[in-house]
A and B are shown apart, each in its own frame.
Chain A
Amino acid sequence: MARGVLRRLAEIAVVLVVVSVGTFALVDLTPGDPAIAVLGEGHPPEEYAALRDEMGLGDPFLVRYGRWLGAALHGDLGTSLIPPNSDVAERIAAALPVSAEVAVLGLVMALVVSIPLAMWSAYHADGRVDRVVSAGTFGVLSVPSFLAGLLIIMVFSNQLGWFPRAEWVRLGEGLGGNLYHAFLPALTIALAETAMFTRILRGDLITTLQEDFILAAKAKGMSPVRVLFSDALRPSSFSLITLLGISLGRLIGSTVIVEYLFALPGMGTLIIGSADKGDFPMVQGAVLVVALIYVLANALIDLSYGYLDPRIRRAHV
């Protein structure tokens, strides 16, 4: 077990190094000049050269990377190039909870809806409900998220007036208000995820329901609900859990469209906005944090396989 964890940690470290080298190389690979990003255009060339020297851009790549990595390991991700030159770590600390909350909320909503839906569909495979669910999920998946978001805003904010739009209330300012404002963006995220989860889980459940142990559980007089939850769900949830890990990482870093629609100050907006302005330290820091969350989430998912199937637990020891 201990060896497994060590190996896993080493893997995480390798992934993070690769990601950080990649984002760090952005500075060298993209055509923009950080000095121009800071000073703006129209200054004499000497001023740009002096600033580049001051920023250490003249040093070799590995030296600059080492310097940045050393600081990053101490929690210092540098400062933004763009006035007001705010601290990168602070900006991320402000944006991350917003993205994380909306993503987690959206995923929870998706799970709560998709698990019973997939169970019903799988238990009555090719029945009427199953066909409606299949067609419905397919339809939802084919709707781009900006359109789904706009429709949701139109219906729930503009028509019904149940929810506000384009505002964000921080968790610190009260849980009720926070959840109230997080609901619509989470719902927008949940739509596509629900469709995906339902389809994946339905397929795996149908396979599991053919197993002898399901018949054996029925032969003991267990109710269908009990058979589904207690016997069929766990062995059927590997693909679902894997997908969940991938979704979590993806949603935290790249729900730009949903964040724009609902004016959320989240990670996606931070990364895209900074990249647009050539604010490299900000992009590097944010991408590193997203990557860290991504690998941690997937490491957790891998560990959960052991919980799902005791045979795997044993193989790790």
Chain B
Amino acid sequence: MSQRPHAPARPPGGSAPLLVVEDLRTEIRTPRGNLKAVDGVSLTLDAGETLGLVGESGSGKSVLGRTVMGLYTTGPAMTVSGRVLIDGADVHALGDAGRRELWGAGVGMVFQDPMTALNPVKKVGVHLTESLRRHGGLSRAAARARAEELLRLVGIPEPARRLGQYPHELSGGMRQRVVIAMALANEPKLLIADEPTTALDVTVQKQILDLLGRLQDELGMAITLISHNLQVVAGRADRVAVMYAGRIVELAGADVLFAAPRHPYTEALLASVPRLGRPPHSRLEAIDGAPPDMVAPTEGCRFAPRCRYAREDCHRVPPVLAPEAAGGRARAFACHHPVRPVVAGGS
């Protein structure tokens, strides 16, 4: 279906998806009021599938990734409603102890900044072995051997020596490989990669993304690839969900979405990406205005104030994410006046 011919085929109709998110809402308490970081998101992810989750900063994609895991920082209080099923287990009903069994075993997480995601005072080896010993019940020696194997798997040379080093002795790309090895230690079925390459320079970005793709094929896991960068997701995700102001505004197969976006926001996002094929000195489209205030969002469509297709009803009635009349599962968008498929794309 996509550029990756080896992408696993969808399981036959009957089997349940690996990840089910139903009407998920996350509100973060702030001094000004509750911030609706995730506001009614529903999606599914099949085993082995890659879902790209894109949107600008503050669109709620990172919070969504963490809420899916049931993982929060200590800090501002959050309220979560809705349901998340990972491999049949209701994440928010599991309780703390149950979630800890899931974290690092059934679900792994790759963080954005490898400079801060590794504890500066712990050796690389400890980062890996503690998870292995926690979930796999491995002995010290077995965990060490497995940790070495993991480092080799993520393409780190001299793995035995690296185990005894501290994070600051490794380059950024190497550290991100360690972060990935850490998330993969117990071969999770679902990997949530939150901007895994944003903090890296461009050449390293490609290496890391290729690595994730290779590991996905080897281990058969599903990946939620969160990024603000459409190019990171392009060619790697099977399906793409576009988030705006805490909601999914368009969800479609990657090839379909990039070729013919239906939501004006998706179209605007695609138009704002620089491309080599364009004539030199041509103007890059920017999206006017700013994202809405998520403490007190407007009624109606949240993109309406910035949308060039907006009409009167857009400001009153919130559009729902609905499958395209003819398309079935292939695509869904939340827009009263979608972009016509014919005019689509910013080629």
Total A-B Cβ pairs within 8 A: 87
B108 within 8 A of A: yes
- Secondary structure call for the B interface: loop
Given A216-B111, A218-B71, do A223 and B118 touch, yes or no (CB 8 Å)?
Answer: no
Q: Does A241 contact B (CB under 8 A)?
A: no
Kindly provide the distance from the CB of B132 to the nearest chain A CB, expressed in whole angstroms.
9
Rounded to whole Å, the gap between the CB of B76 and the closest CB of chain A is 10
Q: Tell me which residues across on chain A come within 8 A of B182, comparing CB atoms.
A: 216, 220
Q: How far does the alpha carbon of A123 sit from the alpha carbon of B103 in the complex, in Å?
A: 19
Residue ID in chain B nearest A232 by CB atoms: B119
With CB as the reference atom, state the residue of chain B lying closest to A217. Answer: B119
Q: A118 CB to closest chain B CB, in angstroms? A: 14
Taking the nearest CB of chain B, how far is it from the CB of A96, in angstroms? 35
Q: Which of B114-141 contact A (CB under 8 A)?
A: 116-122, 130-131, 134-135
Of the candidates B74, B119, B134, the one whose C-beta lies within 8 Å of that of A221 is B134
B105 located at the interface, meaning its Cβ lies under 8 Å from any Cβ of chain A in the complex:
yes
Query: Which one, A165-173, A245-253, A286-294, A306-314, is touching chain B?
Result: A306-314
Size class of the contact patch on chain A? 20 to 34
* Residues 292 to 317 of chain A near chain B (Cβ within 8 Å): 308-311, 314
8 Å CB contact of A212 from B69, B75, B116: B116
User: Using Cβ atoms and an 8 Å threshold, which residues of chain A touch B120?
Assistant: 213, 235, 309-311
Contact status A310-B166, CB under 8 Å = yes
Interface range, B side: 20 to 34
Q: What's the minimum C-beta distance from A161 to chain B, rounded to whole angstroms? A: 45
Bound-complex Cα distance A226 to B109 (A): 19
Q: Within 8 Å CB of A235, what residues of B?
A: 119-121
Known: A218-B71, A220-B182, A223-B100. A212 touches B134 (CB 8 A): no
In the complex, what distance in Å separates the CA atom of A309 from the CA atom of B119? 10
Q: How far is the CB of A211 from chain B (nearest CB, A)?
A: 6
| B102: interface (CB < 8 Å) | yes
**Is A222 close to B, CB under 8 A?**
yes
Separation in Å of the B71 CB from the closest CB of chain A?
A: 6
With known contacts A216-B109, A220-B130, A221-B105, A125–B69 Cβ distance under 8 A: no
Known A-B contacts A230-B130, A311-B168; the reply to A216 vs B135 at CB < 8 A is no
Asked whether B91 is an interface residue with its Cβ less than 8 Å from the other chain, the reply is no
Q: Are B74 and A209 in contact (CB under 8 A)?
A: yes
Interchain residue pairs A-B with the least CB separation, the first 10: A220-B104, A221-B104, A212-B116, A220-B131, A221-B103, A213-B119, A219-B109, A310-B166, A221-B100, A212-B117
Give A contacts to B, CB under 8 Å: 122-123, 125, 206, 209-223, 226, 230-231, 234-235, 308-311, 314
Query: Can you list 10 A-B contacts with CB-CB less than 8 angstroms, sorted by A residue number?
Result: A210-B74, A211-B116, A216-B119, A220-B103, A226-B130, A231-B122, A234-B121, A310-B120, A310-B121, A311-B120
B residues with a Cβ closer than 8 A to A are 69, 71, 73-75, 100-105, 108-109, 111-113, 116-122, 130-131, 134-135, 166, 168, 179, 182-183, 185
